[in-house]
Amino acid sequence: MSNNNIDPPTRKALVTGGTTGLGESIALQLQADGYEVAVCGRRADKLAAMKARGFHSINCDVGDMEQVTQMGSWVARQWNRLELLVNCAGVALARSDFSEVSLADMDRVLRINLLGTIAVTQVMQPFVIAAKGNIINISSTLAQRPRAGSVVYSASKGGVEAFSRAIAIELAPHSVRVNCVAPGLVRTDIYLAAGMPAGAYDELLRARAIEIPLKRVGEPVDVAGLVAFLGSGAASWMTGVCIPLDGGGILR
């Protein structure tokens, strides 16, 4: 006799770059929605803080293929399935002329933003297929509407969007959906981490807000809400799309 009172297993989610900024907000939203959430990052203090809030914390630089493989081994041991993978880990460069960007900086941005997204997806693909789950990649409006000083970052995010569309086709027969979110300027520490002075960043936020039809820059919770929607059953017929989230900036 079957037992209809057995609770379904808790949904599992992995958020890369999940200890700060967009990733942290996404992880908190998914936790509130009932997921068991693992986050990965590179800073021990941030990982410890997330662990204290009830998250699984994995030390992983997504630009290091060996570490990505080890993270896959963790998922295999702990869960062996993944209802939602959010590729959010990313780095930027302080605004500079392309001629001033070093080859080492190019390598770091492309390795983390693009190759990291691709590698994590490949390693986690079997677990997402097992759960007939979802993959959500974080891009940027700079992929489609680049600005001066964003050449390498824009290129990395353009690759993320192309990859998202291609892998969506490949995984569709497995009932796995892949979508992409392209935020405009969101208030996080990504540019501060890249070396932009706090005063210059505050001025960038003020200047950019004036350009946006809704007259404000984004907040991490804005992105987290859209990610939660795309990972839900309400979006069950959406795959292979990249949604701009920019306060109407795309209208300008």
**Known catalytic residue at 191:** no
* Mean pLDDT for the stretch of residues 110-127: 98
Please state the domain count of the chain. 1
Question: Is position 251 within any domain?
Answer: no
Question: Scanning the structure block, which residue is given the tokens 């890369």?
Answer: 16
Single pTM value for the model? 0.94
* Mean pLDDT for the stretch of residues 38-48: 97
Q: Kindly report, residue by residue over 136-167, the tens digit of the pLDDT.
A: 999 999 999 999 989 999 999 999 999 999 99
Question: Is position 23 within any domain?
Answer: yes
Question: Is position 204 within any domain?
Answer: no
Query: Is the pLDDT at 19 greater than 60, yes or no?
Result: yes
Residue 250's pLDDT band (cuts 50, 70, 90): confident
Give the range of the structural domain holding residue 70, as residue numbers without chain letter: 12-190+219-244
Q: Kindly report, residue by residue over 50-60, the tens digit of the pLDDT.
A: 999 999 999 99
Question: Is position 53 within any domain?
Answer: yes
Q: What pLDDT is attached to residue 8?
A: 76
Residue 1's pLDDT band (cuts 50, 70, 90): very low
Question: Is position 212 within any domain?
Answer: no
Question: Is position 63 within any domain?
Answer: yes
* Mean pLDDT for the stretch of residues 108-126: 98
Catalytic residue among 35, 153, 191, 201: 153
CATH classification of the domain holding 22: 3.40.50.720
Question: Is position 252 within any domain?
Answer: no
Question: Is position 7 within any domain?
Answer: no
Residue 4's pLDDT band (cuts 50, 70, 90): low
Q: Kindly report, residue by residue over 59-70, the tens digit of the pLDDT.
A: 999 999 999 999
